[in-house]
Homo-oligomer: A and B are copies of this chain.
């Protein structure tokens, strides 16, 4: 369970060159998207700007969206999660992991991430692609938690838990999209601790509250 592309990766000259073109393509893509907009930019332009043939580009990124979406943060968080002590409950463990990963990211890259997030949330195709990845994360979280609790993913309770966590993350993304001043990590932390407390809001009825105005 949970193999997830963690091959040792033997590094040859070939691999290095590949990583370089990969990065180059993504950079050029993001630059052009930023300058002219996503739809106004054709992948042909990206290929030209990178001085790489169209065929090759598609060998690296099978879709236009992939140029933006592919991300290394998720794997890092997963890696952290697996290192967390077992006497933390799953949510605590996740909070620690997210914090650890974001702390390790330098300011410049954070800016870039923010730009990228803005782009994603403004282009429907990218949002869709991003949601697919979110859905994959759901399954990954389910696997991780199942492992931790010595249970199986084949279990609605586990899946529900993973789904709620993932959904909470989606909520944070939405929140941050409309509140540019909000701190992403802090919001995640807030949302997750809310979840940890059992979503007190879920138990509230309208009657228990005074009308607010």
Interface residues of A (CB under 8 A from B): 86-91, 124, 127-129, 131-132, 134-135, 138-139, 142, 145, 148-151, 154, 156-172, 174-175, 178, 187, 190-191, 194-199, 201-207, 209, 211-213
Closest residue of B by beta carbon distance from A139: B174
Shortest Cβ gap from A154 to chain B (Å): 8
B190 touches A174 (CB 8 A): no
- A88, A202, A203 — most chain B CB neighbours (10 Å): A202
Chain B residues with CB below 8 A from A163, complex form = 164, 167-172, 174, 191
B91 touches A151 (CB 8 A): no
A89 touches B205 (CB 8 A): yes
Chain B residues with CB below 8 A from A178, complex form = 154
B201 touches A175 (CB 8 A): no
B166 touches A170 (CB 8 A): yes
Complex Cα distance A123/B131, Å? Answer: 14
Q: Within the complex, which residue of B86, B132, B151, B154 is in contact with A127, where a contact is CB–CB below 8 Å?
A: B132
A201 touches B128 (CB 8 A): no
> 30 interchain pairs (CB within 8 A)?
A87-B205, A88-B205, A89-B205, A124-B132, A128-B131, A131-B132, A135-B170, A138-B174, A145-B201, A149-B209, A156-B171, A156-B172, A156-B175, A156-B187, A159-B191, A160-B171, A160-B194, A160-B199, A161-B194, A161-B199, A162-B167, A163-B172, A163-B174, A164-B164, A165-B167, A167-B168, A196-B203, A197-B198, A198-B199, A199-B199
Complex Cα distance A213/B191, Å? Answer: 34
